Each structure stands twice: as structure tokens, then as C-alpha cells.
Structure 1
């Protein structure tokens, strides 16, 4: 399996400890810089209001199998929570698309640290939304 980053995050967060536990909990603005060879894939992206961004949290712990979510008392397996630490630290980020300028996307709600590799971007569509997910959508 080969994954190739399509771009990189430019963020004010320099360490994982500076980032919010969930990007949607912050109004912080960040940029996604798409590499030149993928710029054509942005055609018409300005028509989107929200994006799903897949990042590789390259600074995350990769041996973690269990963790206790913030505000919880019981630990859970990392596949049952949104911990950045996991065997394959792929982050699923839902962001607001604020603006576009060539290969640069300005977004709100991204919790990735500066220089995080971006693996893919998809438009958020109404089909993606599920009311009352379990166990809790804020973990």
C-alpha cells in the first residue's frame, strides 16, 4: 500500500498539545496547501461549503490501543473513540471552506498541527450527516 500526500496543512498549532481535542470545537483558521501536481483536482471546489479532509497525524502515538476520552472515566479501544493515537493515525476532519486562492484552501475547524500531511479531500454532502450518533460525537 502506498499513500502519497496531496498537500500540507499550514496551522498556528506547532505541537499536538496546542491543538484542540476536536477541530470543530475551534474557530481557528488554517490553510491547506495543495501540491502543484494535484491543483487541477481543486476544480470547482469553491462551490463546496464544507469539506472532509483526511490527514496523516505523523506526530501521533502509533502503539496506542486503548485510551480514556476527555471527560470520561472508562478507557475504550482506539477504534471506539476519536483519539489521534492509533495504529494508522488517519485523521478525519470536517471543516468549513472559508476561501480558495489557487492551490491554497483556507478552512475553519481543522485540528491538525503545522506541516501535517494531507491525504485526501472530499466534499461534505448531506448524506454524510447522521443524527444522534453513538456513543458521542464530541470525543
Structure 2
């Protein structure tokens, strides 16, 4: 484990580093993006424990992390899910569905950050207390609104990723089980309360 006190650029997202691959085992480190003061990194394992199949790509208007929304609720842009044509039969039954969970692989995010200092919060927090794409397994998820289906293409609203991001899975969103209005994130509530005072 190492702490880097050099000031750097955003750890999350970003332009594709030279030499990066589309394979989940590719270990992208924070040093390629810069590490902020107070952030802690760790060396990546030599080999992965499991393999994944990318089932398609996400087409969005964002090509750099500066223009990409921080979360899917910040944009009303219609984006496209391009599913591999061979998987179209797996969409059977989605007709009439209004919302989906999309799980995707943030292939351009660093994977070695344990403590991050998000620019908007200004203090370090553990990676597992954040929704940053920079994490040991850069799996992201968004609850999106399904606005159209044609062949292997789904039109959705609510994405927050760069164009070409690999897709891992599609699941229906069930309001009866997926919505927890009482849920809280402790540090986020504390931050909000400090603004009110």
C-alpha cells in the first residue's frame, strides 16, 4: 500500500491511456491519471480471479471525463445500448419495461485507489464509500429509463459514462425491491447537514 502526496488530475474516468486494453484483467493504475494529495493506492494483483464477457457497448455523447456527468440523474441525453446481435433473443420480455439496471466496465478508470479525494468533497474517503468509477473492479451501474428498442439497440436516459464503454449486463429495475427510500450514506448526510447549519 502506498500514499502518494503528489497533486494530480481526476482519478476517475479520463481518456484512454496508451497501451490500455479492453480485457477486464488490464490493470490500469492511478499514476496514469495523477493521484491527489491524501489518496492511497495499492499494487494490483498479478492475475484476475474470473473472466467476463462484454455483451455490447454504450454509445454516449461524452468522450472525455470533464464533459461526462457525475451521475446519470444529471443528464437527459438519450444514449444507445448496442448489444451484440447474437444476444438479441435475451431481450425477449423487456417490452413494456420502463427502467433497467445497466452494469458496465469503466475500462478507462484506475483500479488501484483505496482512498480517494473527490474534487467536489475535498477530503479523502474509502473507495467503497464512494460511487467513483475508480475501484479494484471498475464496475459501474445506472438505473436508466428505457425509451426505445429496435433490434440490438436500446435507447436509454440516465447514463454517466464515456462513449464506447463496455457493457456487462442488463437487468430489469423492480421498484418493489430495488427502491429503498430510507437508505442513507452517513458521510453524505453529515455533509448535507453541515450546509444547512
Gaps of 5+ in 2: 1-49, 190-197
Measured in 1, the distance between the counterparts of 2:161 and 2:152 equals: 18
1:90 equivalent in alignment to 2:126: no
Q: 5 Å matches for 1:51-66?
A: 51-66=100-115
**Runs of 4 or more above 2 Å deviation:** 68-74
Measured in 2, the distance between the counterparts of 1:38 and 1:92 equals: 20
Measured in 2, the distance between the counterparts of 1:75 and 1:46 equals: 43
Measured in 2, the distance between the counterparts of 1:111 and 1:133 equals: 22
Gaps of 5+ in 1: none
1:133 equivalent in alignment to 2:183: yes
Task: Give the match for residue 76 of structure 2.
Answer: 27
Q: Secondary structure at the match of 1:65?
A: strand
User: Cα offset for 1:47?
Assistant: 1.9
Larger RCO (CA under 8 A, 6+ residues apart): 1
Task: Give the match for residue 11 of structure 1.
Answer: 60
User: Cα offset for 1:18?
Assistant: 1.7
What is the TM-score with the length of structure 2 in the denominator? Answer: 0.66
User: Which structure has the bigger radius of gyration?
Assistant: 2
Task: Give the match for residue 3 of structure 2.
Answer: none
Measured in 2, the distance between the counterparts of 1:70 and 1:108 equals: 26
Q: Is the 8 A contact 1:46 1:99 kept in 2?
A: no
Measured in 2, the distance between the counterparts of 1:70 and 1:28 equals: 24
Change (3 A) 1:70 1:27: farther
What is the TM-score with the length of structure 1 in the denominator? Answer: 0.92
Aligned length: 137
